[in-house]
A and B are shown apart, each in its own frame.
Chain A
């Protein structure tokens, strides 16, 4: 039902990715790998984490063919609540096309910061809204992200913002112009907790976000590397916990 406009990785993309992934060594997590795990080197021992086992993920994403191999998670945990992992335990965290699916992305970044050792790396891949089905959606502001982190998920304002994300998704991504149809489908997606892209970004938004969460003392990361891949469809940040 949903189509993205992702192209293929070019030789330059693959070289850039390999360069960024050179820092990924030791013990760490990939969160939300599903059908496209990040190809790390032999020096990296990856524990796979996902919110749901693959057979349930297939029910959320029936568009992914059943014969496509998917990663079976070693740990079933929410991305923003890795409670069984000790503080500072990991050398790296990998998350590809995940953060946009999390209602409170700052909360997730703070949690990933917690489980990383000082000097550990976060490798983050995100879609650029200008090259996906999000292109006509409202670009998420920094204030919005900070507010999502400051308000509990049951806070009425937070609930209203999340509900608006679902309506926007139903209207724009699912192309339901009729308000009744849009609201019905948005309500249905809320009921099944469908992991929409809650937020949508461009690379500079993420740069600003890391500066802001550092400034307000929520998580301290240094940007070590960046790359734009697949003709702009996705961008990558390599960050180090400081």
Chain B
């Protein structure tokens, strides 16, 4: 399904699932500021805020090249960038998981 936007949600496929990004301007601004991702979970009937540490499953390893702080991504800003560039589900998944493996999300560490 292509990226679709209504007043409340921006919906797109991620890893085979349809996910809904909350579009409320205040929520969006907070997401961008705090590097979070606020999503509507249809099955749960509720909104949840995804934090960088919630998604980070790959701890940095000794000797792993460190990505410069200015090269790291905010969660929402990366997703919006990828959607803006019209990447498909496969590519969104590829970029996000590459970013996770290389510890590239701002705020994923204390």
Contact B86 A178 (CB under 8 A): yes
List, in ascending order, chain A residues with CB within 8 A of B58's CB. 59
A-B contact number at CB 8 A: 46
Say whether A180 contacts B85, CB under 8 Å: yes
23 contacting pairs across A/B (C-beta < 8 A): A1-B94, A52-B65, A53-B62, A55-B61, A56-B64, A56-B65, A59-B58, A59-B64, A59-B101, A59-B102, A178-B86, A181-B85, A181-B87, A184-B81, A184-B82, A184-B85, A185-B91, A185-B95, A188-B99, A191-B102, A191-B104, A192-B65, A192-B104
A62 located at the interface, meaning its Cβ lies under 8 Å from any Cβ of chain B in the complex? yes
Determine if B81 and A62 form an interchain contact, defined as CB atoms under 8 angstroms apart: no
A193 touches B65 (CB 8 A): yes
Residues A178 and B67 in contact, CB atoms below 8 Å apart: no
B98 at the interface (CB under 8 A from A): yes
Chain B residues contacting A192 (CB-CB under 8 Å) are 65, 67, 98, 102, 104
Q: Does B44 contact A (CB under 8 A)?
A: no
A56-B61, A192-B104 known; 11 new pairs, CB 8 Å cut-off, are: A53-B61, A53-B62, A56-B64, A59-B64, A178-B86, A180-B85, A181-B86, A184-B81, A191-B68, A191-B102, A191-B104
How many angstroms from the CA of A193 to the CA of B63 in the assembled complex?
14
Bound CA–CA A180/B101 (angstroms): 23
Asked whether any CB of chain A lies closer than 8 Å to the CB of B6, the reply is no
A193 to chain B: which residues have CB within 8 Å? 65
B102–A181 CB distance below 8 A: no
Interface membership of B54, Cβ < 8 A:
no
- CB-CB nearest in chain A for B71: A191
Contact of A53 among B63, B94, B101, B104 (CB under 8 A): B63
Question: At the interface, yes or no: A76 with Cβ under 8 Å from chain B?
Answer: yes
Q: In the complex, what residue of chain B is closest to A187 when comparing beta carbons?
A: B71
For the complex, would chain B's binding face be called helix, strand, loop or mixed by DSSP majority?
loop
Interface residues on A, range: 10 to 19
Interface residues of B in 58-95 (CB under 8 A from A): 58, 61-65, 67-68, 71, 81-82, 85-87, 91, 94-95
Docked Cα-Cα span, A152 to B103, in Å, equals 28
CB under 8 Å from chain A, chain B span 1-38: none
For the complex, give the distance between the alpha carbons of A58 and B65 in Å: 13
From known contacts A1-B94, A178-B86, A181-B87, infer whether A191 and B67 are also in contact, taking CB-CB under 8 Å. yes
CA distance A193 to B66 in the complex (A): 10
B11: min CB distance to chain A, Å: 21
Decide yes or no: A52 and B98 within 8 Å by CB, A178-B85, A181-B91 being known contacts: no
Q: How far is the CB of B75 from chain A (nearest CB, A)?
A: 15
* CB neighbours of B63 from chain A (8 A): 52-53, 56, 76
Nearest CB in chain A: distance from B93 CB, A: 11
Query: Chain B contacts of A185 at CB under 8 A?
Result: 91, 95
Distance in angstroms between the alpha carbons of A180 and B87 in the assembled complex? 10
A55, A56, A193: most-surrounded residue (chain B CB, <10 A): A56
What separation, in Å, do the CA atoms of A199 and B67 have in the docked complex? Answer: 24
Complex-state Cα separation, A188 to B67, whole angstroms: 10
Distance between Cα atoms of A1 and B98 in the complex (Å): 12
